[in-house]
């Protein structure tokens, strides 16, 4: 069993930054792939970014590439999402997710991830 708990959400103005954190507990060593997803009201959950445990390689959706940075600290069992230049369309509930193995072509599918946090709200006002 793996437990994920997010924090760091809040309300900011356009152009400001936030850093989300996700603490991972349980069988953390088996969680090779970790990711952030977001879901806005009335919209489907969408992929934001992912990172592989062993290689540290990262992947981003086109919407956030260049503005968001995903990172992880394996020694602390932490996952982060640094969000810069926030826009109103970034407003959503952000959730971290993890799985033992996710193939590259399935990184963006929420069905690829076995464990999920409860989410943290990010609100960006203009």
68-78 pLDDT, tens digit each: 999 999 899 99
Give pLDDT tens digits for 84-124. Answer: 999 999 999 999 999 988 888 999 999 999 999 999 999 99
Q: 26-45, pLDDT tens digit by residue? A: 887 777 899 999 999 999 99
Tokens for 68, please give them.
């968001």
CA–CA separation, 15 and 13 (whole Å): 6
2-7 β-sheet, strand order = 2-7, 18-26, 78-83, 68-73
Collapsed DSSP state (helix, strand, coil) of residue 22: strand
pLDDT of 30:
77
Of the candidates 98, 101, 100, 91, the one whose C-alpha atom is nearest the C-alpha of residue 116 is 98
Give the separation between CA 93 and CA 37, rounded to whole angstroms: 8
Q: What's the confidence (pLDDT) of residue 27?
A: 80
| Chain position carrying tokens 């069993």 | 1
**Rounded Cα distance, 104 and 32, in Å:** 12
CA 96, distance to chain mean position in Å, is 4
């Amino acid at each position: 069993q793996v437990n994920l708990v997010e924090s760091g959400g809040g309300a900011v103005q356009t152009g400001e930054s936030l850093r989300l954190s996700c603490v991972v507990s349980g069988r953390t060593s088996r969680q090779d792939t970790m990711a952030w997803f977001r879901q806005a009201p009335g919209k489907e959950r969408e992929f934001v970014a992912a990172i592989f445990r062993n290689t540290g390689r990262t992947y981003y959706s086109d919407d956030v590439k260049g503005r968001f940075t995903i990172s992880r600290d394996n020694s602390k069992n932490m996952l982060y999402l640094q969000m810069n230049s926030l826009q109103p369309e970034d407003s959503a509930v952000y959730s971290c997710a993890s799985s033992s193995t996710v193939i590259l072509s399935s990184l963006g599918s929420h069905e690829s991830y076995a464990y999920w946090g409860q989410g943290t709200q990010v609100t960006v006002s203009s």
